[in-house]
Amino acid sequence: MSDGLGFSLAQLRYFVVSAEVGNISEAAERLCASQSTVSSAVMRLERQLGVQLLLRHHARGVTLTPSGRHLLREARDLLGRARNLKARGDALAGGAVGRLDVGFLASLAPFLLPGVHRLARQRYADLRLTFHEEPADRLAALLGEGRCELAVTYDFLAGDARFHALAEMPVHAVLAEDDPLGGSGPVELAALAARPLITPNTPDDIRHAEKLFADAGVPLPRVIGATSVETVRGLVAAGSGFALMHQRGRATTTLDGGRVRTVGIADDLPPASLGVAMMPGLAMSGRGVAFLDVLGSVVPAGPSGPAGPPHPALGRASP
């Protein structure tokens, strides 16, 4: 596919160096090219631009024409911009410098994002993180559109993305502090199902709850949807029902002063893997590697321990 320009940056460079030194032969030495290559490239550039740029003087080198003098400044500017673009690309690919857009599953962000932001500032002063808190379907769209390089999510929400697990997160129940259920240890889902289930009101969260109850052979109770994790905790503290979560917060007090507590689940339910997703075939930048370093230090280990450090394969494009 042609760009319609007809000339190259190499031709511009040959013209600029020739004009600066005033001699094709000397320009060729500086450019590590043959005299015929430089001379031919400049003549092709003149034909493609439709103007004569240099006057050739036998045994006296070259001088700029009026048109060449006008275009020399623009040629230098264009070459400077090209060098800046190359340097910018090298920085983006090779180091923890510049902006990195990261998606965060909305229900995970309150538990992890503050610690990630704090630790990133300490370890990578030149890394500028921009976070996008979204439900799972929007995270997939942000990855697919190239607006985010990475997304922090669970394995069961990663879809077709490449996923690297960082920690295994068992499911637990969140109850009001004064709820007598589970006071002596883990509680069965069947006992919880006598009251409403309070969950973030997204299709993915509801489908995940349905699967948990189906795996345990327990009918799904009545569902009360909420727009945020903190609203879920507030409703639980108020005695409106219970919640199931993989993430575990340290605070037991809700924003309105209520209190909650966490209780283990007696049913044999599989844990969820917490980690990062990225598009298949995308090579991870140096900024992405730095982010994984930070995230791996912040995620909770869980009973099974951390899933391990970021795998080197995440830094390469998939075959």
Give the three-class secondary structure for 309.
coil
What b/e string do you get for 220-255 counting C-beta neighbours within 10 Å, with b at 16 or more? Answer: ebeebebeebebbbbbbbeebbbbbbbbeeeeeebe
Reported as a pLDDT band with limits 50, 70 and 90, residue 20 is confident
Beta partners for 224? Answer: 198
Question: How far, in Å, CA of 149 to CA of 295, rounded?
Answer: 14
Give me 82's structure tokens: 């090209």
The two beta strands, 223-226 and 197-200, are: parallel
Mean pLDDT for 20-43 is: 89
Question: How far, in Å, CA of 181 to CA of 187, rounded?
Answer: 7
Beta partners for 243? Answer: 174
Question: How far, in Å, CA of 13 to CA of 119, rounded?
Answer: 45
pLDDT of residue 89: 64
pLDDT of residue 314: 45
DSSP-assigned letter for residue 6 = -
Residue 275 scores a pLDDT above 90: yes
pLDDT 10s digits, 225-274: 998 899 999 999 999 999 999 988 888 999 999 999 999 999 998 899 99
Question: How far, in Å, CA of 17 to CA of 79, rounded?
Answer: 11
Residue 93 scores a pLDDT above 80: no
